[in-house]
Amino acid sequence: MSIAPFLRRIRELVGHELLVLPGVAVLPRDPSGRILLVRIIDTGQWAIIGGVIEPDESPQTAAVRETEEEAGVRIALGSLLGVFGGPEFRITYPNGDQTSYVSTVFDATVIGGTPTPDGDETSEVRWWAPEQLPHEQMGAFTLALLHALGFAVPFADG
């Protein structure tokens, strides 16, 4: 699991205790409406591109950075799709770290690069039509974000 240096320092102090963190999520879409998703190495699950906002970083800058890091593409940000938080946006990572994210979600368009996993955090990058999203291969957090954004998704029970 890739972890930002500032967050590593916090974790050294608090261990696996629940942290509330600002995050971003990005929905790059192509002209046909397909969504670019990444497969996370630690869990094997498909996910929306995103991550934690680092100190002194704007949500917009974090969104662009996370997309380039995780999917290997440059984006133009579109509209703000929403800001979401609450119990359904908690994650317990494989190492036991607990995080509750308040995520700022952006629409985006790919303007450069070829979708490529980073090999550290992501193992695959793929375009998905909304009606073909791999719900059964997504975690509760991604399903909650998609539901909050108005996509038809099965109920996430975890």
Residue 143 three-state SS: helix
With a cut of 70, which residues of the chain have pLDDT below it? Answer: 1, 155-158
Predicted local distance difference test score (pLDDT) of residue 104: 98
Predicted local distance difference test score (pLDDT) of residue 155: 60
Place of tokens 């038809």: 152
DSSP 53: P
Q: Residue 25, class by beta-carbon neighbours within 10 Å (0-12 exposed, 13-18 middle, 19+ buried)?
A: buried
Domains of the chain: 5-148 (3.90.79.10)
Q: How far is CA 157 from CA 17, 44, 95, 144, 153, in A?
A: 22, 18, 21, 10, 12
Predicted local distance difference test score (pLDDT) of residue 31: 93
Q: What single letter denotes the amino acid at residue 151?
A: F
| Cα 106 from Cα 83, distance rounded (Å) | 9
Predicted local distance difference test score (pLDDT) of residue 93: 86
Contact between 24 and 104 under an 8 Å Cβ cutoff? The reply is yes
| Cα 119 from Cα 7, distance rounded (Å) | 21
Nearest to 104 by CA among 75, 79, 82: 82
Report residue 28 as tokens. Answer: 């790059």
Question: Taking the model in full, what pTM does it have?
Answer: 0.91
